[in-house]
Amino acid sequence: MTDSDKPIRRLLGKVKWFDPGKGFGFVIADEGGPDILLHANVLRNFGQSSVADGARLEIDAQQTERGMQAIGIHRIDPPEDATSAPLADFQEMDPDVLASAPLEPARVKWFDKAKGFGFANVFGKSEDVFIHVEVLRRSGLADLQPGEALAIRAVEGKRGRMATEVNAWESALTLLD
């Protein structure tokens, strides 16, 4: 029996770790069992270049010669601890205003995980949107690549436009339905 003939299982789990530099990481299934390999190509097919450690996933997985591997992603939710205290920049803002900001198409200009921030360009707008690493993490992402397509919610902050939520473009399409 070849790998493609083996049954595909839909599973819920949590990202154990993911390293964009190495191009892979592992998922722990809620039902237990061996770690499930999550390759960067599977994330790219979902429209993301990274995923935050601890993020919740709904995946299709298949047993292969090398063990269990994720072969598709249906949903990524931010880590459960990512919604704790609000960021200082948003503390004085009405949470309903933050949540009701429209989703806007954007491309990553640059993002430096070590510095903890970066910028995106929103289609049709001249000003950049600031993206803080904590907003990224709360959105279930760990890193961004230049040119990556996003759907973001942004508000006018003390220092200009700031992202309040960051989504991979493909996953954001389901939010619009």
Q: Does pLDDT of 172 surpass 70? A: no
In whole angstroms, what separates CA 50 from the centre of its chain?
6
**Which bin fits 69, alpha (ψ -120 to 50), beta or left (φ > 0)?**
beta
Q: Model confidence over 117-146: pLDDT tens digits?
A: 999 999 988 889 999 988 888 888 888 889
Tokens read off for 120 = 């995106």
State the pLDDT confidence band at 93, using cuts at 50, 70 and 90. confident
**Which bin fits 105, alpha (ψ -120 to 50), beta or left (φ > 0)?**
beta
Mean pLDDT (whole number) for 66-94: 76
C-alpha 99/C-alpha 91 separation (Å) is 13
Domains of the chain and CATH, by start = 3-77 (2.40.50.140), 84-176 (2.40.50.140)
Greatest mean pLDDT range, 27-31, 54-58, 63-67, 124-128: 27-31
**Predicted local distance difference test score (pLDDT) of residue 5:** 72
**Predicted local distance difference test score (pLDDT) of residue 85:** 46
Total Cβ atoms within 10 A of residue 132: 19
